[in-house]
Amino acid sequence: MIALLSRDLALAVRAGGGFGLGLAFFLIVTVLVPFGVGPDTELLSRIAPGILWVGALLACLLSLDRIFALDWEDGSLDLLATAPLPLEALVSLKALAHWITTGLPLVLAAPVLGVLMSLPPEGYLWIVASLAVGTPALSVIGTFGAALTVGIKRGGLLLSLLVLPLYVPTLIFGAEVARRGAEGLATATPLALLGGVTCGTIALLPFASAAVLRINLR
User: What is the distance between the terminal CA atoms of the chain, rounded to a whole angstrom?
Assistant: 24
CB atoms within 10 A of CB 195: 15
Domain limits at 191?
A: 2-216
Return the DSSP state at 218. Answer: -
* Model confidence, pTM: 0.90
Instruction: Decide if 213 contacts 83 (C-beta within 8 A).
Output: no
The span from the CA of 17 to the CA of 140, in Å, is: 16
Q: What mean pLDDT is predicted for residues 190-208?
A: 95
Query: In percent, how much of the chain has pLDDT > 70?
Result: 91
Phi-psi region at 166: left, alpha or beta (left = phi > 0; alpha = psi -120 to 50):
alpha
Q: What mean pLDDT is predicted for residues 53-70?
A: 85
- Report how far apart, in Å, the C-alpha atoms of 65 and of each of 1, 177, 183, 189 are: 22, 29, 37, 33
Q: Give the tens place of pLDDT for each residue, 18-57.
A: 557 888 889 998 888 888 888 788 888 999 999 999 999 9
For 86, phi and psi rounded to 5 degrees? -60, 145
Domain count, the chain: 1
**Which one, of 55, 38, 20, lies nearest residue 174 by Cα?**
55
Q: Give the tens place of pLDDT for each residue, 8-19.
A: 677 666 655 555
- Residue 155 has a pLDDT of 65
**Which one, of 172, 163, 198, lies nearest residue 53 by Cα?**
172
